[in-house]
Structure 1
Amino acid sequence: MKNIYDIKVAWGDTDAAAIVFYPNFYRWMDQATHELFEAAGYPASKLQKEEQVILPLLETFCQFKSPLVHEDRVSIHSEVTEINNKVFKVEHQFRKGEQVVAEGYEKRAWTSTAEGKPKAAPVPSFIKNVLLQ
């Protein structure tokens, strides 16, 4: 499953050089992952309340190709590209028009909170089926 999340760079997203401060790409990847799950019918609030599941971040990476500045409009193209037993990978591509300005990924754990203490759990097949279509 793929999802596109659009943003407009705000003034506060930039640094003293007037370009986007790099941690914002990681913040946007996090938001884009939540948007992807919401588009799949599993928003974070539903996962947490009904399924007793959270999706903690295990690893992240971003490669910057071209700077963004205030008021740029960016589309974040996100897709789950890999699901192992308890861990899945979401790849993100940042596009300004047709230009790829950054690419990155997140690895997250499917984590149950049913017993109080978070514990990695197998990703259910019904979730795999939705995310890998």
Structure 2
Amino acid sequence: MFEWPVRVYWEDTDAGGIVFYANYLKFMERARTEWLRQLNIHQQALAEQQGLIFVVTDAQLRYLASARLDDALQVSVEPVEIGRSRLRLRQRCRLGDQWLCDGTISVACIDRAQHRPRRIPTDILARLQPQADLTE
């Protein structure tokens, strides 16, 4: 499981002083990007050199507790399924030992120009494969 630290800033909170619910998705996006980076998968290079991008196709979240201004969160990425053209990931946000948000995020690999599904290149699958069982 990969974890990425996220600090809660003023801009992340709502009028009640807690993290606005949609911002957990932003935190998860940052963690996914850093997870891919640590696997030497650079999304901008993938888009420019191979015309491929990863897009979120489904997000299911459960909110368990609230984060507040200045909280130091840990956002995790854990592959559940790795297919030939899509990933299903479990992502969670926690503050210390307390889970705040639990989600399942599905991501598809698509052609940047045509917006149609494409297979994940084999060299990238090889880096992802040790992370979870290959399916599909």
Same fold (TM over 0.5): yes
> Residue 79 in 1 paired to residue 83 in 2?
no
> Residue 52 in 1 paired to residue 51 in 2?
yes
- Secondary structure of residue in 2 paired with 1:19: coil
Report the counterpart of residue 121 of structure 1 in structure 2.
118
Question: How far apart, in 1, do the equivalents of 2:9 and 2:114 lie?
Answer: 37
Question: How far apart, in 1, do the equivalents of 2:90 and 2:129 lie?
Answer: 13
| Amino acid across the alignment from 1:54 | I
| Amino acid across the alignment from 1:91 | R
Question: How far apart, in 1, do the equivalents of 2:28 and 2:10 lie?
Answer: 19
The number of residue pairs the alignment matches comes to 130
> Residue 41 in 1 paired to residue 47 in 2?
no
- Secondary structure of residue in 1 paired with 2:80: strand
> Contact 1:33/1:90 (CA < 8 Å) preserved in 2?
no
User: What displacement does 1:28 show?
Assistant: 1.2
User: What displacement does 1:25 show?
Assistant: 0.5
> TM-score scaled to structure 2, two decimals?
0.87
- Secondary structure of residue in 1 paired with 2:105: strand
Percent identical among aligned pairs is 22
Question: How far apart, in 2, do the equivalents of 1:125 and 1:81 lie?
Answer: 19
Report the counterpart of residue 103 of structure 1 in structure 2.
102
> TM-score scaled to structure 1, two decimals?
0.89
Q: Residues 15-63 of structure 1, C-alpha deviation per residue, up to 9 Å, x if partnerless?
A: 1111110000011111211111111101211211122210111001111
